[in-house]
Amino acid sequence: MRVFLASIPLQDTSVVIVGEGDAAHAKARLFSGSAARLSWFAGPDVDDGEGRIGRWPEAADLAGARLVFIATGHADVRDRAIEAARAAGAQVNVVDQPGLSDFHTPALIDRDGVVVGVATGGVAPVLARDVRSAIEAVLPAGLDRLARLAEGLRQTVIDTLPDFTARRRFWETAFRGPARDLAVEGRDAEARRQMLRLLNVSQAGEGVVHLVGAGPGDPELLTLKALRALQDADVIVHDRLVPKAVLDRARRDARLIYVGKSRGDHSVPQDEIADLLIAEARQGHRVVRLKGGDPFVFGRGGEEAEALRAAGVSVVVVPGITAALGCAASAGIPLTHRGQSQAVTFVTATTRDEGVSPDWQALAAPNHTLAIYMGVSDAAEVQGRLIAGGRSASTPVAVVENGTRPEQRVLTGRLDELAELVREGEVQSPALLIVGETADWASASAAGVSVQEAAA
């Protein structure tokens, strides 16, 4: 985070503007009608009136100021005002000169009790305004009424629900239900009655576990439902494959519990993970079990759902973009393509000791794409089994390491080179092995040509 947006109460606060012209007018409009005491010094060329003072400020004029905005082309006036403002303990903003400023003015969406700011550190104000416009379009104009209603009920809610988690859940329900709609429509009395009815029946309630797919790593590939679950969670139990960029989308005060596993290193056994989820839910928590990819595609989500339901714990499954889809797309590889692949199979190269091994002969069928999970350590066996099953040694292959992430690598070759690719490339998990004619698309994509051109 390069900038931090602070919320400054304006009640009984002194704001001073120094300058003339459009920039000074814009700052004056910003605070017009606010709770702040506004003083605008526009210089000796301007007559007093219309909120302006026809002189430059003296040091005494800045005593007690909290914020000082300077928008003048007179360098001597600017420098004196900066010095006097800082001597008075004020924070200074020099318009269009971020290097001279203590703070920068964000692009603001003002809904009275609800103010949204978008900041770029003063380096791209037009971009900030464009982002503000996009946000403003989805916010109802009456949002401030909801904030005022919440302010009036705040102490009542605290007295009724002393438990912090119960209070947060009450407000989440209130702000997303009928009371919200009534408030923004201006039906304040009805909205208040609806909130009080909700408060009378509110309680901590039973916990729930969301099995959430985090996708292959790029946080922008999170589904909206997954993002909402992360932002509502009390506890997040996450895997090794979930990157920090995804965890950063969670609510800041959520408790994070790491239970990552890798081959030969199970930091927390699977049965203990299930016990942990059950225990947290029984304490009334909303738990997110966050898994790389999709929880039901080689993520053992089915085992966890089975254990939770057997214990009487509510389970919600939130699917995610699985590694095969994300990695293939990121590497430019279609998993099916007319004339090259009429089918795709997701398969894991790792099986439980008592599990059934894949049918390698069936998997070796031509015109068929294989997306092989957890195959890095078994690349030599995968290569040998597929060739022995009848797949041509010249079949294209691609190895996608850290797919969709900034550090993504894509290695390409032939099936009879697969083990060598993994070994010499020092490939590390997470990585996906793609076997089939469409794997050639990775080489063509990297070269910026079509597959037909690459084959010519």
Q: Which residues are catalytic?
A: 239, 261
**Number of CB atoms found within 10 A of residue 87's CB:** 11
The answer to whether the CB of 447 falls within 8 A of the CB of 410 is: no
Encoded tokens for 221: 């590939």
| CA atoms within 13 Å, Cβ hemisphere of 380 | 4
Tokens 């290193």: give the residue. 265
Write the single-letter amino acid at 415: L
Task: Provide the greatest CA pair distance for the chain.
Answer: 93
Please classify residue 232 by burial: count the beta carbons closer than 10 Å to its beta carbon, then call 0-12 exposed, 13-18 middle and 19+ buried: middle
